[in-house]
Structure 1
């Protein structure tokens, strides 16, 4: 889901849509307890994971990977996104490139944890996932949206394991303080996510730009990805991650000092730049983390389409190859 949200994006909701939201919220409160419990149980167990399941700390986590040689490309998804959103990127990587994408706890096909994954525990959690997947260091870390915060946290803790960074329309640790539009849009995004949760409980389709973007994925994963992403349990985990990204992840991500010679690539969506005047400066700072860096704005791309549109995802894959070649 798009964590680059502006006030303009939310202010266009019609009065009838607001009434519908209130009616749906009321329906949730008056739904029989047995029906709600049944729905929540159904939403907690997707029918079939497209990748494989590994166990970390006694919890089942979904991993989508491909064989190859080190360095291992690690794909860290945006808020609430299952690993399958990286399908085009995985398909277009060079044949000998080892890559791992996974679902964080509670997201997609992964079981939820007792508590959210805070920044203090994240680096060792990721290492445990990669070990279970049989992935070897060094790692080229690729982060989309809030995933960009997480790869900074990992690199700050384990610079010796990091061979390069790729930021894909990445969140910036300071974006809510320095971007008035991001700050104004945050409450609207929170409300939008809450509406998705309400719709999931009622068994209604999510709709909206995020759902539409998933239709651009390969046909074999488009439907399962939407089903996994918009289940109640997955949306609830995403809501928790949104809180963590503000209260914990951003602060920890800001601790990363420049990584000097470690290559950094920044890929951003043209539409995101158009919507937020402060965005360009924030993205430049990501590139400034290294003396070896490159940046690209993908024409016509939106936040989600950088992964879900095949031609846009090719630009992400190009950036990954550039980092590998310059590492």
Structure 2
């Protein structure tokens, strides 16, 4: 009996073995036309099998496999939109998407989910055991991440709903990777048995390349997920540290500011003295100035001091972006009001913190009894802070910060503890502080410059002023010296301009520097 496919004789399709490589239709049936099914029906049992290399042997013949791919494409589209939204929120926070942490962890989870789906789509028709094993490993790590974020109040508070949603979605995607790969494997075996008579155990060179590439990318994702889990464990350990002060909700209860005050509002004779309000520079107040403040308090140079961590620094939450010096001043003022701290104040600030203190001073008028600028940054130099290259490097550091490339070795091999990471020597590695620096950089030469320029115009001219400068900084940077001189003209009541010999930018790191700072603060507090 002669068989035909599309009117062709089966004799034309037989190979050397005499076995047909194409579906055949019995001549007793209807004549083939454009609507004739080319693949044999699953119930047919008397048809010849196809070659395993025939393009018709594909799992895409099954609706289940095609539907799985459609769902994967839909997941990828949704994840990409979420990823873009989180990326934007690192620069400008959309309403309702603010995070009290860095936002980098939510972005990392979204990146893991998006990359997983892209890898799944690229190598969809090449399922492998390695893919399924790696999907299980990733799922285990992501389950641990989700449990830590949900179970530890501090992490849940910082990540907010965006971080929780991103972690849960990354877990769902990793589970979907396992389901999809297993579905394609089943579909591939099903179609091979139906069309070739057996399940194909060999792979073509292209399939091996696809398996190798998918395995490589998934190994990278699994390692990244493991590192994120390690840094979350580190954060969980750090969450046990108790702040020295109190956290106060500000800005409509969007985030919390850490405020610490020490001492009495009156001295030993009962006289009420101004409270010294410290503002940190590039580092938190706790790293250096806190110890100095305690010693000066013990020496009787002043009777009371306070300091607040700017948003994102040390114990304080991060604030929505953009965030300027004016907004930082409003947050500090609200925290002080909630704490019942009314002043009057002597402001002592270092580095870029002088920008914030000057804005605070201009807005509190008669409550300010003195200004001490410790190698303060001039507004004309804010362009250095807002340099695009610096901003990009901060963004890049923030993106990879959840991997802990610097934090994990510092803890394992250099003995860095929770205090070091929160406010100490390696606090600059914290995703929160990196995010705060990124926020600072984004608006330094625009919104913040406008704020401090306005503050100079409305600053009361009779406020006592002391300027303390670093000799090292002046010798290295001629422009810095000119701008330090200009700072001495902020008010008409300059007490002193000290250039501390051999002192670095952090002047309090030298004995002479500490003595000069303490002497000048004492003079302003006691009205000398």
Q: Which residue of 2 aligns with 1:114?
A: 320
Q: Which consecutive residues of structure 1, in runs of 5 or more, have no partner in the other structure?
A: 1-27, 212-218
1:78 aligns with 2:281: yes
Counterpart pick for 2:350 among 144, 151, 155: 144
Report the aligned-residue RMSD: 3.3
Displacement after TM superposition at 1:220 (Å) = 11
Structure 1 stretch displaced more, 39-48 or 137-146: 39-48
Displacement after TM superposition at 1:84 (Å) = 3.7
**C-alpha distance in structure 2 between counterparts of 1:274 and 1:254, whole Å:** 27
Counterpart pick for 1:295 among 490, 497, 500: 497
Q: Which residue of 1 aligns with 2:442?
A: 243
Change (3 A) 1:249 1:202: same
Change (3 A) 1:269 1:220: farther
1:261 aligns with 2:462: yes
**C-alpha distance in structure 1 between counterparts of 2:336 and 2:354, whole Å:** 18
Displacement after TM superposition at 1:158 (Å) = 2.1
1:171 aligns with 2:377: yes
**C-alpha distance in structure 1 between counterparts of 2:296 and 2:502, whole Å:** 22
1:88 aligns with 2:88: no
Displacement after TM superposition at 1:65 (Å) = 2.4
> Helix, strand or coil: the match of 1:248?
helix
CA contact (8 A) 2:310 2:328 kept: no
Q: Which residue of 1 aligns with 2:225?
A: 34
Displacement after TM superposition at 1:277 (Å) = 0.7
**C-alpha distance in structure 1 between counterparts of 2:402 and 2:395, whole Å:** 11
CA contact (8 A) 1:44 1:231 kept: no
> Helix, strand or coil: the match of 2:379?
coil
Q: Deviations over 1:223-243 (max 9, x none)?
A: 751244421222222221122
**C-alpha distance in structure 2 between counterparts of 1:137 and 1:111, whole Å:** 24
Question: Bigger radius of gyration, 1 or 2?
Answer: 2
Counterpart pick for 2:263 among 52, 67, 73: 67
CA contact (8 A) 2:228 2:403 kept: no
Larger relative strand fraction: 1
CA contact (8 A) 1:52 1:62 kept: yes
Displacement after TM superposition at 1:266 (Å) = 0.6
CA contact (8 A) 1:108 1:229 kept: no
> Helix, strand or coil: the match of 2:372?
strand
What is the TM-score normalised by the length of structure 2? 0.48
CA contact (8 A) 1:75 1:141 kept: yes
Q: Which consecutive residues of structure 2, in runs of 5 or more, have no partner in the other structure?
A: 1-111, 116-219, 266-272, 411-416
> Helix, strand or coil: the match of 1:166?
strand
> Helix, strand or coil: the match of 2:425?
helix
Q: Deviations over 1:102-159 (max 9, x none)?
A: 2111111112223343234333321122233442221111221111111111222221
**C-alpha distance in structure 1 between counterparts of 2:280 and 2:232, whole Å:** 25
**C-alpha distance in structure 2 between counterparts of 1:38 and 1:220, whole Å:** 17
